[in-house]
Structure 1
Amino acid sequence: MIYTLYHVHDPMCSWCYAFKPTLDELRKNLKDNIKLVHVVGGLAKHSNEDMPLNQQEMISNIWYEIEAKVGTKFNHDFWKNCKPRRSTYLSCQATMLARYDNKEDEMIEAIQEAYYLKAMNPSDSSTLVQLAKQIGMDEVKFEKDLHSEKIEKDLMDELNLRRSINVRSFPSLVLKYKKETYPINIQFGDYKAMLAQIEDMIENTYF
């Protein structure tokens, strides 16, 4: 029997960035019949408007909270060097385009590193094109596809998938077998607890 483990995330979600090391360990220890599948969640629609200052302050404070609770490092110069926008759909589309080129994990990591460590803005297409080139994609084709109707439709389909498995927060993990789904309790820094929950569900026939 083959099981799907959906990892629902947004490449510009700070808690998803903090969860990545634990997710990587979980993935390494999954049995061969469990396939991890990334699903982009779409935190914020396309926007060219500057993020309001109170929202910038709120998100900046979340970064400090994550540093204190999880130990994840952030480059807080982002808030001084960039013009933040509440807009993540484009980075979601970039992640999906990289998936079609078998470079999804590389793009997720590149976006997170650019955003959180290099104080670059993944809401800007120029940043995403630069990252596509960095991970070995055709930058001209990538830039064209990034703004295509097809990738926008593909993103809407993926958001519908996210809704169909009842996910409203990121990161989330959902185990699926046939038509049945079951949420996994997210544990930052403790992949073994999540692995045990997954294996217990499968062994005790929750599906």
Structure 2
Amino acid sequence: MTILHYIHDPLCGWCYAATAMLEAARARPEIRLRMHGGGLWHPATRLRDGQRQHILEADARIAALTGQPFGAAYRSLLADPETVLHSRPAIAALLAVPEALAPAMLRAIQRAHYVEGQRVVEEGVLVSLALALGLEEAAFRAGLAAAPVEAHINTTRRLMQRVGATSFPTFLAERDGNTEIVPHMDCYEDAAAFVARL
């Protein structure tokens, strides 16, 4: 059994780019996934022009490399000076769902953000995504309110410091008590090669 530790952020474009790698790994029964949200946009941030341009350039590279879609509504969201990027609500949503549903919730958040241009910092948007996954609204809202987000982000950042991780995403493979970083930068176009590396 290999434990794949996925250090990510729901609002990280390169984590969105890594979707095929993550799904290919999850399809293998000998691999167990553990997700660690790192808080890329924490605290809440309104984008400056330079940040916005950097994101758009990265998005173009991601689309060309992986085929991942970026919708017009998302580009409009980025262009809106009132848009706030904040990782905390999305990470709370991942902690509020059963662990087995967290990857599906992550995909739903990413699609809502990158394709549909929804404001995933808003609780109502996150609730609608949870309902679409078949979750019960009151239970999900209670989970959101109780999610230990700050502790989770702090734990993730300590893990990153311990293993020398400096960016999102980072993949760690744990086997027999030993943990090592799994190189992935050359696998965005070849998820099978990433799985073979595990």
Q: Percent identity?
A: 24
In structure 1, the gaps of 5 or more residues are 199-207
Deviation at 1:115, TM superposition (A): 0.6
User: Which residue of structure 2 lines up, in the alignment, with residue 66 of structure 1?
Assistant: 62
Paired residues in the alignment total 193
Larger radius of gyration: 1
Deviation at 1:51, TM superposition (A): 2.2
Structure 1 vs Structure 2 CA RMSD: 2.3
Deviation at 1:178, TM superposition (A): 4.1
| Counterpart residue type for residue 94 of structure 1 | A
| Counterpart residue type for residue 45 of structure 1 | H
In structure 2, the gaps of 5 or more residues are none
Deviation at 1:153, TM superposition (A): 2.9
TM-score for the superposition, normalised by structure 2: 0.83
SS in 1 for 2:164: coil
| Counterpart residue type for residue 5 of structure 2 | Y
User: Which residue of structure 1 lines up, in the alignment, with residue 114 of structure 2?
Assistant: 116
- 165 and 14 in structure 1: CA distance in 2 versus 1, 3 angstrom threshold: same
TM-score for the superposition, normalised by structure 1: 0.80
In the alignment, structure 1 residue 35 sits paired with structure 2 residue 32: yes
Alignment counterpart, residue 45 of structure 1, candidates 42, 48, 56: 42
- 73 and 122 in structure 1: CA distance in 2 versus 1, 3 angstrom threshold: same
Deviation sequence 1:132-185 (CA, Å, 0-9, x none): 222122223323432337443344334433443332212221111244211111
Residues 3 and 177 in structure 1, CA contact (< 8 A), matched pair in contact too? yes
Distance 2:127 2:29 in 1: 35
SS in 2 for 1:129: helix
Residues 39 and 162 in structure 1, CA contact (< 8 A), matched pair in contact too? no
